[in-house]
Amino acid sequence: MTIEDTRTSEAGAATGSRHAGAAAPGRRTVLPALSSGARHPTRPEVRRNLASIGRDDVLRVLGAAAAGIATTSWLFTQIVAFDGALPFVLISYVLFLGYFVVLISFDDNRVTIIDRVANVIIHSLAVVLILALIVVVVFTVIRGSEALFHFNFWTQDLSTAGPLDPLTTGGMLHAAIGTLIMIAFALTFSIPLGLLCAVFLSEFPGKFSRLVRTVVEAMTALPSIICGLFIYATYVLMFGLDRSGFAASLAITIMILPIIIRSADVVLRLVPGTLKEASLGLGAGQWRTIWNVVLPTSRSGLMTAIILGTARGIGETSPVLLTAGYTTYINMNPFTGPMVSLPFATFTLVKSPEPSQIARGFGAAAVLMVLVFLLFLIARLIGGRGPGQLSRRARRRVAAASIRDAQRYTQRSAVGNPSAGGTASHGGGHSPESLQQTGSGHK
Amino acid sequence: MSQNDTIQRSAATGDRSRYADDGSLDDALTGLGVDADPSASGGPGASGNGAGNGVGGSGNGSGSTPAKPAADTEKRRNPATARGWQDVLFRSLARSAGAVVLGIMGLVGLFLVVRGSEAIGSAGPSFLTEQSWEPNSGTFGIAAVLFGTVTIALIAIVVAIPLALGSATYISEYAPRNIKGFLTGIVDLMAAIPSVVYGLWGVFWLEANVLPVSQWISTFFGWIPIFAVEDFDANNPLATPTVFTASALLAGLVVAMMVAPIASSIMREVFSQAPLGEREGALALGSTKWGMIRSVVYPFGTGGIIGGTMLGLGRALGETIAVYLVISPVFIIQPNILATGTNSISALVALRYGEASPFELSALMAAGLVLFIITMIVNFGASIIISRSRSGASSEA
């Protein structure tokens, strides 16, 4: 009844819908209908279309844009002698908004104008951000392609190429190898430590883990240069060891450890409590529960955490800057002698005034960026799912496992020896199914 | 307590031998008010948690349990206290991992404090007020670099937040469903691009494009103090725009590009959690789409907006390489954001660590400590705001 009345009242009101809602409990139909009828005696209510974009909208935007650009070019050529692409764009955008408001106000009321303008502004902000990304990526790749298309760029180091040599000699192999060695060492430290610590934070709540979590959160704020400075002051100056790839990987470890712990902790906390309780209820211990239920459930999220940490680790320059030292040779030994990474090489090369050095720097940056993209793509592919959602392959695996189990059960009941299954199923528990099996094995 | 109820005794028999001699189990169960030996009190489920025991109890009732003597080793396990040796090992391993991480992180913080205090102690309060940086002659302070750091970060935030807010709103509210995931990926990807790439972009592309804008702002808005540039005469047609190179504005714009995606992804996360019922309610009451966003999505996501902004600010304060590549370092407080020359703490460290004497290194540590404390405060503030807000209860940051 109430809804119907409100509807009828709205049918007469172009702008009075809010009044209708407010007045609904008291005098439902009379008041709004009267007031709106007084405002728009002739115009019937048109249903507001929230979804689609009509021909009018497109024409308005185009018209306003054309007018804005035209006015700006007139301003730039006739009124103020001025150049530069960015001021042109900014001024024409402001003018475009102005014309746009005027155009809409011919047809629509204030509420609609605000809606349309907000719509346009939000669209353009999003476009600006994505355009900026495209400019960054395309600019780097184009400037880098100069060096990238020389085969030697991929197969040589810079030891034979001086700053004045053309791009046909020398390459970035040493930096690529250095990056791989550093990140490999950093990951061997940070993955086990980080994941174990994240499991500790999410599975063993208590005072101590709260303290650890607080400190880890504080450390995500640690500027990366401080990690480098710390390792430089301890490893290099205090212990008197060489600057080396190993020192750099220690600095990278300190930097990415809190990142990995924090995002892994978030993922682990998303594992449904009912799954854990089911596992515990079936008689598994805490270790079995974590190994067989918690970790498999959140595997994709954990992989994402690791890969994002890796992407951050290989891209960061400042920890390496202070701890690795610069070299132009391939150095396979991470413990002695300087070692250089791709971002560090980029950083050093572009500070040179020589165009060929700068081109090499851009080449290294482009390679680095492609590497990050690839890592990111992998992270998206395996990490897009929430805990418990399986890929097609994983689903097939689970199905096959349960078919196997069913076959074993039928075999066992055919043999008729129920106590043998209980002990046999105990050893090889590597999947959630084995838990069910432990539970039902004693029936 | 709910875990207690879900224990099924039939399952416990499988591990019975492992826990049989765990004497503490009985005590713990009694402490929890659970009868440790249900078979003594007349069968499963007799002691208070009958409903929870339903499934397990029926399985057992037909089995052998009630027939067994009261001294049987089968007991209800409490998962909080019952452990096999794997559990004990794992627990201690996890605990020690936590301790190691705590140790490393604590060591970094402690080391900064200890080494930095040497320089702070020798400089005294002038460490915060002195502009020049000559630690070896005894006059040094972080006033200039701190000012530069904060200026760059503020410019970055002012530019980045509208971009982040707009793109987050677009992705969560306006974007067609089929490109939403793609755009989300793009924004996250932007956050993963190495800072040195942004630095290159700033030096080789943005600088040339920003110079005319700087010149324009300085010509028309030079009367506002922060836009004034001393060496620039707007009436001189031959004035070179080189007085605008390597400015705080440029560094701020580069950092803004790095900060915007971080803030954007947090905001998007929060916006997309805005309750559907309230959205539909607003639309059903006749609101336009923007009206719905303004009255439902933004109020709901206020915590996310503020938190994302502060996280971005934390990142902007600590950014090193992009800033280092773009700026030309000066050691005076430079309030004119368009003029050449600015500085930041992290760029200072990167610039001076190499030829630093032990004392200067201590001074750099002290500067780093100040930076660390500021970013930490900002980050903690962000996470507190996010977690206290209505939308933040389940959000990740």
DSSP notation for A178-241 = HHHHHHHHHHHHHHHHHHHHHHHHHHS-SHHHHHHHHHHHHHTTS-HHHHHHHHIIIIIIIS-P
The distance in angstroms from the start CA to the end CA of chain A is 59
The confidence score (pLDDT) of residue B253 equals: 92
Length of chain A measured in residues: 443
The confidence score (pLDDT) of residue A429 equals: 41
The confidence score (pLDDT) of residue B168 equals: 93
Count other C-beta atoms under 10 Å from residue B352's C-beta. 17
The confidence score (pLDDT) of residue B58 equals: 39
Strand (E) or helix (H) holding B133: strand B133-134
- The least confident of A155-159, A346-350, B119-123, B166-170 is A155-159
Q: Distance between CA A399 and CA A393 in Å, rounded?
A: 10
Between positions 389 and 418 of A, the ones with CB within 8 A of B are none
Say whether A368 and B197 touch across the interface (CB within 8 A): yes
Q: Distance between CA B292 and CA A336 in Å, rounded?
A: 62
Q: What is the crossing angle of helices A224-231 and B345-352, to 10°?
A: 30
- What residue has token string 């959160």? A217
Q: At A46, which amino acid appears?
A: V
The confidence score (pLDDT) of residue B329 equals: 83
Chain A residue numbers touching B325 (CB-CB < 8 A): 347, 350-351
Q: Does B79 map to a domain?
A: no
Domain carrying residue B319 = 133-394
Cβ–Cβ < 8 Å for A303, A375: no
Cβ–Cβ < 8 Å for A136, B197: yes
Q: Distance between CA A283 and CA B120 in Å, rounded?
A: 58
The confidence score (pLDDT) of residue B76 equals: 64
User: Is the pLDDT at B381 greater than 70, yes or no?
Assistant: yes
The first and second tokens of residue A184, run together, are 């490999």
Q: Distance between CA B390 and CA B397 in Å, rounded?
A: 14
Say whether A233 and B376 touch across the interface (CB within 8 A): no
Q: Give the count of domains, chain B.
A: 3
Cβ–Cβ < 8 Å for A203, A269: no
Residue B239 has phi, psi (to 5 degrees) of -60, 135
Do residue B109 and residue B179 come from a single domain?
A: no
Strand (E) or helix (H) holding B140: strand B139-140
User: Is the pLDDT at B83 greater than 50, yes or no?
Assistant: yes
Do residue B36 and residue B143 come from a single domain?
A: no
For residue B100, name the pLDDT band (cuts at 50, 70, 90): very high
Do residue B106 and residue B137 come from a single domain?
A: no
User: Is the pLDDT at B376 greater than 90, yes or no?
Assistant: no
Work out whether the CA dihedral B119, B122, B125, B129 comes out positive or negative. Answer: negative
Residue B357: C-alpha distances to residues B217, B292, B363 (Å) = 43, 60, 10
Residue B54: C-alpha distances to residues A120, B58, B69, B281 (Å) = 60, 6, 22, 43
Q: Which of B337, B354, B346 is nearest to B318 (CA)?
A: B346
The Cα angle at residue B54 between residues B49 and B55, in degrees rounded to 5: 140
CATH number, domain at B366? 1.10.3720.10
The confidence score (pLDDT) of residue B31 equals: 40
Q: Where are the domains of chain A?
A: 2-38, 55-133, 173-383, 392-440
- A122, A365, A439 member nearest B166 (Cβ): A122
Q: Given 3-state DSSP classes, what are the helix, strand and coil percentages for chain A, each rounded to the nearest 5?
A: 75, 0, 25
Do residue B167 and residue B297 come from a single domain?
A: yes
The confidence score (pLDDT) of residue A66 equals: 92
Q: Distance between CA A263 and CA A360 in Å, rounded?
A: 35
The confidence score (pLDDT) of residue A312 equals: 86
Which residues are CB-neighbours of B378 under 8 A, at least 6 positions away?
A221, B310, B311, B313, B314, B317
Query: In the predicted model, what is the mean pLDDT of residues B168-176?
Result: 91
The confidence score (pLDDT) of residue A389 equals: 67
Do residue B157 and residue B276 come from a single domain?
A: yes
The distance in angstroms from the start CA to the end CA of chain B is 30
- B105, B283, B291 member nearest A219 (Cβ): B105
The confidence score (pLDDT) of residue B169 equals: 94
- B166, B350, B376 member nearest A225 (Cβ): B350
User: Is the pLDDT at B202 greater than 60, yes or no?
Assistant: yes
The Cα angle at residue B329 between residues B326 and B332, in degrees rounded to 5: 135
Cβ–Cβ < 8 Å for A309, B35: no
The first and second tokens of residue A296, run together, are 């498999």
- B192, B195, B364 member nearest A311 (Cβ): B192
- A83, A115, A278 member nearest B289 (Cβ): A115
Q: Which residues of chain A have pLDDT under 70?
A: 1-53, 80-84, 383-389, 416-443
Q: Which of A307, A280, A419, A420 is nearest to B83 (CA)?
A: A280
The residues facing B329 across adjacent strands are B342
Q: Does B337 map to a domain?
A: yes
Work out whether the CA dihedral A72, A75, A81, A87 comes out positive or negative. Answer: negative
Q: By the CB < 8 Å criterion, does B6 face chain A? A: yes
The conformation of residue B329, written as its DSSP 8-state character, comes to: B
Residue B205: C-alpha distances to residues B168, B196, B197, B198 (Å) = 26, 14, 11, 10
Do residue B280 and residue B299 come from a single domain?
A: yes
Q: Does B104 map to a domain?
A: yes
Say whether B204 and A139 touch across the interface (CB within 8 A): yes
A89: exposed, middle or buried (C-beta count within 10 Å: 0-12, 13-18, 19+)?
middle
User: Is the pLDDT at B281 greater than 50, yes or no?
Assistant: yes
Q: Distance between CA A381 and CA A277 in Å, rounded?
A: 30
For residue B387, name the pLDDT band (cuts at 50, 70, 90): confident
Q: E strands within A31-171?
A: none
Say whether B353 and A278 touch across the interface (CB within 8 A): no
**What is the interface size between A and B, counted as CB pairs within 8 Å?**
337
Say whether B195 and A125 touch across the interface (CB within 8 A): no
Say whether B209 and A85 touch across the interface (CB within 8 A): yes
The confidence score (pLDDT) of residue A198 equals: 93
Do residue B22 and residue B146 come from a single domain?
A: no
Q: Which of B111, B168, B164, B118 is nearest to B140 (CA)?
A: B118
The Cα angle at residue B369 between residues B364 and B372, in degrees rounded to 5: 125
Per CATH, the number for A173-383 is 1.10.3720.10
Radius of gyration of chain B (CA): 31
Give the mutation candidate from B19, B90, B383 for the A interface (greatest A CB count, under 10 A).
Answer: B90
Q: Does B78 map to a domain?
A: no
Q: Distance between CA B241 and CA B232 in Å, rounded?
A: 8
